[in-house]
């Protein structure tokens, strides 16, 4: 199969081009079906048809014609994912020590808890430290 260096080199280039096409194809399909909600189903079907029949040419045309929008949609998806992650972290982290102390103070002022209980709640809130990554201490 590989009788010379050039046969090996040619095979390497063909494999590289195929893997590069697969990566581009997956990015295009992700953009078409998960990020681009404005394009109709018929237009998406036409893009997929041409991606199968004329793969490299269609991928190149898609990147030239829709590359800017593709990048904008990818950026918007990344921002949305970041916001969802931040919201989850805020929800999972709970309330801040200042909020805990303020709530304990309002309970003390209303007479629902004693001064000793207030001091205990305040000490508990003040003792909370930010844990190192991957650990939790509360």
pLDDT of residue 80: 94
pLDDT of residue 2: 67
**How buried is residue 62: exposed, middle or buried, by Cβ count under 10 Å (0-12/13-18/19+)?**
buried
Which 8-state DSSP code applies to residue 137? -
List, for residues 65-115, the tens digit of each pLDDT value.
999 999 999 999 999 999 999 888 877 777 778 888 888 899 999 989 999
CA distance 6 to 13: 10
pLDDT of residue 138: 47
CA distance 94 to 82: 19
Domain-by-domain residue ranges, the chain? Answer: 5-94, 96-128
List, for residues 25-76, the tens digit of each pLDDT value.
999 999 999 999 999 999 999 999 999 999 999 999 999 999 999 999 999 9
């Amino acid at each position: 199969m590989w009788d010379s260096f050039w046969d090996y080199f040619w095979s390497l280039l063909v494999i590289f081009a195929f893997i590069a096409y697969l990566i581009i194809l997956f990015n295009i399909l992700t953009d078409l079906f998960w990020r681009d909600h404005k394009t109709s189903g018929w237009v998406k079907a036409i893009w997929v048809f041409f991606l199968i029949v004329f793969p490299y040419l269609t991928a190149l045309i898609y990147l030239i014609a829709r590359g800017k929008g593709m990048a904008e949609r990818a950026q918007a998806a990344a921002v949305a994912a970041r916001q969802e992650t931040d919201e989850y972290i805020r929800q999972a982290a709970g309330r801040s020590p200042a909020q805990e102390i303020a709530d304990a103070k309002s309970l003390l002022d209303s007479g629902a808890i004693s001064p000793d209980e207030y001091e205990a709640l305040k000490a508990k809130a003040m003792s909370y430290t930010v844990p190192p990554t991957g650990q939790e201490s509360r």
